[in-house]
Amino acid sequence: MYTHADHLALSAALDEFAVPMFAVERQSKDAHFRFIGVNSAHTNRSGLTNADIAGARTCDLLPPQDAETTENRYRDCVDRQTVLSYVEKLAFAGLSTIWNITLQPVTLRNGVQRIIGTASTSTDHAVTAKLEDAAYYATSAQMQVAQLRSFLEQVGKRPDLPADLRDKAIMVDGLTHSIDALLSDIRDAASKADNTNHRQTMCQFGQKR
C-alpha cells in the first residue's frame, strides 16, 4: 500500500493510522527528498497539511541546520536500506516540538526511493511515562501487601493469641489477597496500554507494506 503512485491515495492510506505519519521521496540518488504526504494525525500535531507540504523540500519547511540534518538522515535510511529511529527537535511555523521518528525505506518499481515515517511527540511519551509510573507504583504496593500478608498469616497461626483475633487476622488476610489481585490487574493493564498503540501500529505497518 505504500507504493501508491498517486500521492493522494498514499495520504489516504496513511490516514488509517492514529499516529502521525509522513512520506517523502526522491527521484534519483542525487536529488533532494520532497514531501509527498502526511496523515491527519500529523496535521493535528504539526499544523502542516498536504497542501502545505506537497513537493516541498526539507529546506523549504525547516531552518537550514535542521533541514540539513533531516536530509542526511533520509539519505542514510535509503542508502543503507534500513529502518532508522531517532529523536529530534524540529520547528514548524516557529513552534519547536520534540519528535520521536522512525523511518522505513520503500523502493518503487520505477526506482523512486520513498520513505514512510512515523512520528510521536513528547506528549505521547508523557502518557507513556505516566503508564510506567502506574505499573511501578502498583508493583511497589504489591510488595508492601506481601509483607502485610506474611504478618497476618503468622498472626493467624499463633495458638497463644485469642481465637477471635486469629479469625480477624485470617479475614484481613483474605482482603489483602483481593487487593493484591487488583494491584496485579492495574500493573498488567498499565503495561499493556503502554505497548498497545506502538505494537498495533508496527503490525499494521508490516502487513500493509
Greater confidence (4 vs 158) lies with 158
pLDDT band at 201 (very low <50, low <70, confident <90, very high): very low
* pLDDT at site 158: 87
Greater confidence (91 vs 186) lies with 186
Q: For the whole prediction, is pTM greater than 0.85?
A: no
Greater confidence (109 vs 32) lies with 32
H, E, C per residue of the chain:
CCCCCCHHHHHHHHCCCCCCEEEEEECCCCCCCEEEEECHHHHHHHCCCHHHHCCCEHHHHCCHHHHHHHHHHHHHHHHHCCCEEEEEEEEECCEEEEEEEEEEEEECCCCCEEEEEEEEEHHHHHHHHHHHHHHHHHHHHHHHHHHHHHHHHHHHCCCCCCHHHHHHHHHHHHHHHHHHHHHHHHHHHHHHHHHHHHHHHHHHHHHHC
Top-tier CATH class for 7-121: alpha beta
Domain ranges of the chain: 7-121, 126-203
| Model confidence at 93: pLDDT above 70 | no
* pLDDT at site 141: 79
